[in-house]
Amino acid sequence: MVCFRPIFEKLSELSGKSYRGNLPESRANLSEQEKIDVAFRVISDHIRTLCFAIADGIIPSNTDRNYVIRRILRRGVLFGRYLGFGSTGFLSKLVPTVVANFGSVFPELSAHAEGIRETLEAEEALFNRTLDRGLKIFEEQLKQQKGKVFPAETAFMLYDTYGFPVDLTEVLVRERGLELDLAAVERHLDQQRERSRAAQEKEVIVAVSETEPTEFVGFTQRETAATATRLITQPNQVLVAVDRSPLYAEMGGQVGDTGELVINEGSGWPVQNVIKQGRTFYLSLPPEAKFTVPNEVTLRIDVARRRLIEANHTATHLLHWALHEVVSKGISQKGSFVGPSHLRFDFNSNPLTPEHIREIERLVNSRIVENETVSWGRGYRMRT
């Protein structure tokens, strides 16, 4: 407990409460002092974990290890309520104590102290609003509670509608001497995920299925002969499956190519988009397109548009590299859009400062001017 003592002392200073060392055998029906003692231990453990993780580049977010850190932070915020912090942030005020006691053995704490403080402050402010709403609904449910099992439907609703974590609901339930059927909550979550997936399915994906795999030759060819193998007519488009294609399909946040499909008899139709289902490419043609299948066709890319997409694709990699160099090696991609006119890159981070943006722009532009080769290798480093 020696390593926790400085944090206990700072918590006592901030909260006006004292640690008495109670170790309850159960989390149900704790006395006020037992709640305080548990909160001291939980917060002291969690703030060390948070500071070390953020210093190592793990920024709280919604996926992978970053989500683990976010959950730890939110649990710490909940236990802060037992020390009377309310909606007032307190975790960031503990950072100097952690840095002072562990910075000599983990220098990254000192180097990133301000970033750690800013991250905790922003995350805590965001979650406190969720926590306020969730606690109010939880207390309202308790007034109607019958029996020993807290309704799984309410726990699901707290998470799905208000973003209140299920594990924190479980903590609150156990403290009241109640039970929560986690399996039932998980069933509700699975059903919601299935509804979400169904809602996101595109009409075309529902309507078509994978036939024969399409060979993509667009890395080396701008035009190719191909066989149209299947035709599907829809109200707003005609979909044509092909056995090979130089046109890239819409996937991974990048838009599909456009171009032209020419039938060997000489007539042709513009390709409006390319959609991938399984390993099959479907070319989207205007609804008035008509021809028989199978049929031999020639496919051509809109080369000028493809070049613009390629430039923005490369710029996405340059931006990711520059973010690692300027902001944090822990930044990871969370989504993107790559089109002919612009790109969008989603990533986990605190808001960028004007200085960050200027330096990122400088690095990206310098690589473009130097016309250096871009390759995305191990460790997400730019190799030139």
Same domain flag for 328 and 235: no
Q: Provide CB contacts within 8 A for 45, sequence distance 6+.
A: 4
Closest CA to 321 of 258, 276, 376: 376
Decide if pLDDT at 214 tops 90.
Answer: yes
Residue 368, SS3 per DSSP: helix
Decide if pLDDT at 375 tops 80.
Answer: no
Same domain flag for 212 and 92: no
**Residue 331: CA atoms inside 13 Å, Cβ hemisphere, count?**
22
Same domain flag for 8 and 138: yes
Using an 8 Å Cβ cutoff, are 213 and 279 in contact?
Answer: yes
Same domain flag for 351 and 242: no
Could you tell me if residue 169 is inside a domain?
A: no
Tell me how far the alpha carbon of residue 46 is from its chain's centroid.
22
Please state, in angstroms and rounded to a whole number, the distance separating the CA atoms of residues 337 and 46: 36
What does the pLDDT average to over 314-341? 89
- For residue 330, what are the domain limits? 307-370
DSSP state of 270: E
Decide if pLDDT at 199 tops 60.
Answer: no
Decide if pLDDT at 55 tops 70.
Answer: yes
Same domain flag for 351 and 293: no
| pLDDT at residue 1, rounded to an integer | 63
| pLDDT at residue 109, rounded to an integer | 94
pLDDT per residue over 22-38, tens digit each? 888 877 788 999 999 99
The overall average pLDDT reported for the chain is: 88
| pLDDT at residue 197, rounded to an integer | 63
pLDDT per residue over 227-260, tens digit each? 999 888 888 899 999 999 999 999 989 999 999 9
pLDDT per residue over 281-312, tens digit each? 999 999 998 888 889 999 999 999 999 999 99
Please state, in angstroms and rounded to a whole number, the distance separating the CA atoms of residues 205 and 282: 10
Closest CA to 151 of 139, 141, 159, 160: 141
Same domain flag for 323 and 280: no
Using an 8 Å Cβ cutoff, are 70 and 117 in contact?
Answer: no
Using an 8 Å Cβ cutoff, are 79 and 132 in contact?
Answer: no
Least confident span in 24-28, 113-117, 177-181, 339-343: 24-28
Please state, in angstroms and rounded to a whole number, the distance separating the CA atoms of residues 317 and 347: 12
Peptide bond into 294 cis (omega under 30): yes
**Beta carbons within 10 angstroms of residue 84's beta carbon:** 14
Residue 75, SS3 per DSSP: helix
Same domain flag for 55 and 110: yes
DSSP state of 147: S
Closest CA to 278 of 309, 306, 246, 241: 241
Decide if pLDDT at 272 tops 90.
Answer: yes
Same domain flag for 233 and 134: no
Could you tell me if residue 19 is inside a domain?
A: yes
Own/partner contacts of 137-146, CB < 8 Å, gap of 24 or more, are: 137/162, 137/164, 138/164, 138/169, 138/172, 142/176, 145/178
What does the pLDDT average to over 144-149? 88
Closest CA to 283 of 263, 310, 265: 263
Closest CA to 335 of 347, 326, 327: 347
Same domain flag for 213 and 297: yes
Residue carrying the six token digits 């709403």: 133
Same domain flag for 272 and 358: no
pLDDT per residue over 106-125, tens digit each? 999 999 999 899 899 988 98
Please state, in angstroms and rounded to a whole number, the distance separating the CA atoms of residues 212 and 279: 8
Number of domain units in the chain: 3
Decide if pLDDT at 355 tops 80.
Answer: yes
289-302 in b/e form (b: 16+ CB < 10 A) is bebeeebebebbbb
Same domain flag for 8 and 137: yes
Q: Given 278, 301, 324, which residue is the final one in a domain?
A: 301
Which domain CATH number covers 262? 2.40.30.130
Same domain flag for 276 and 326: no
